Amino acid sequence: MGSPNSNGPAAAGRASVIAAAARVPFSRAGSDYRELIAYDLARMALAGLLARADLPGGEVDQVVMGTVVQNVATSNVARDAALAAGVPDGVPAHTVTLACISSNRAVADAALAVLAGQAEVVIAGGVEMLGDVPVGFKREVRRRFFDSRRYKGLKDWPAFFRGLKLKDLLPQAPAIAEFSTGESMGESADRLAAKFGVTRAEQDAYALRSHQGAAAHRERLAEEIVPVAVPPKGQVVAVDNGVREDTSLERLAKLPPAFVKPFGTVTAGNASPLTDGAAAVLVMAEERAVAEGRTNLARVRDFVFVAQDPKDELLLGPAYAIPRLLARNGLAWSDIDVVELHEAFAGQVLAVLRALESAAFGRERLGLAGAFTTEVDMDKVNPWGGSVSLGHPFGATGARLVGTAAHRLNVEGGRFALVAACAAGGQGHALLLERVGS
């Protein structure tokens, strides 16, 4: 996307806005939604958004959603969920995957479609069902399953098992690890925290802040949530169930290291939990949204995607994306009123912020004369909680961040909001919103 001063689509007189947002409650993996699949959560989020925006499905030009751990039965979950949510079959829909910034990519694609004049109304979002991950088998077993298509009957099946050991038939769940390095994200977070001198005490304090912020802003968060009735018993789920209002520094301090033992600093308490959930936002051409009388609009001003070394800088993407994004829009950190930063781990958030304040990082990695900013105002950063407390459904978190940032802009009366997130593969993202009418 071109910046406002470029010759790209944004300079041609069109603009895209976030006109509405909705999400289902985020729940710890395998809890509230254990009888459902990702498709169910996606259709609930899409239907909830259409109802909240008072938008007939036939008015939608396109649907795009992000997801990470795909169910092969609904690999294009955006299409299947859109049809179930009431979007007509003549509306195209596609699914994208970019690790934890999948729905950030979906929002970006939606904004680009509007800016290019290919659409006026696009639904963008994401979904993840980590309580129902697809399991697999070793490569040899998979090969034999493929060969079994030629079997004529039971007499052919002994060949399938010949030479296999019982342990070869055990299913394997996908690992949350980097393919290129074999290292888990938790291990990377531990190393990143150590690199930037982020202590265990600081991580626990940040995690407590996340939970306390979410608990204190339950009413605001409820405005973003679409309560859902979960089959088969119709249980109504209306709140995020990962928020721990009763946690404390003492409780967090007692938790053992989760990844690097015995001296690691990342624990189950200061990391985002495995989460099921879905979220969606309505992206519209600004001219149309205004003509329809829609209010509380946030203009998609610009965005960037970046990539770094997945070994040493796996989770550091926002530290590169934020300065690049703000520089090309002529803005400084002090110009930003609202910051929604993905909390993969408390240590990762604090390391990113410390990098932005580091003169050495600014000179050596960003090409600046010194630090990108001399002091981060934490009051701007995730005051309503974040992924550590609310949860992190991989494919849905980006849409939640965008929805909350737009919400906060209008509640707090700010002008600019910044959304940023890290992702597997050493990638990152930052997006700039501007309140319409500010």
Which residues belong to the active site? 100, 422
Integer Cα distance of 263 and 118 in angstroms = 53
Integer Cα distance of 297 and 290 in angstroms = 9
| Cα-only R_g, the chain | 22
Tokens of 158: 């002994």
**Nearest residue to 277 via CA among 230, 211, 207:** 230
Integer Cα distance of 94 and 116 in angstroms = 18
- What number of CA atoms fall less than 13 Å from residue 78's CA on the CB side? 25
Helix (H, G, I), strand (E, B) or coil at 430: strand
Integer Cα distance of 348 and 253 in angstroms = 18
Q: Are 340 and 408 a contacting pair, CB within 8 Å?
A: yes
**Nearest residue to 230 via CA among 29, 35, 26:** 35
Q: Which helix (H) or strand (E) holds 350?
A: helix 346-356
Q: Are 289 and 18 a contacting pair, CB within 8 Å?
A: no
**Nearest residue to 60 via CA among 84, 88, 85:** 88
**Nearest residue to 391 via CA among 9, 15, 28:** 28
Q: Are 227 and 408 a contacting pair, CB within 8 Å?
A: no
Strand partners of residue 419: 340, 431
Q: Which residue spans within 139-274 are E strands per DSSP? A: 228-230, 235-237
Integer Cα distance of 145 and 137 in angstroms = 10
Integer Cα distance of 302 and 115 in angstroms = 11
**Nearest residue to 106 via CA among 85, 132, 87, 128:** 128
Question: What letter does residue 10 receive in the DSSP assignment?
Answer: G
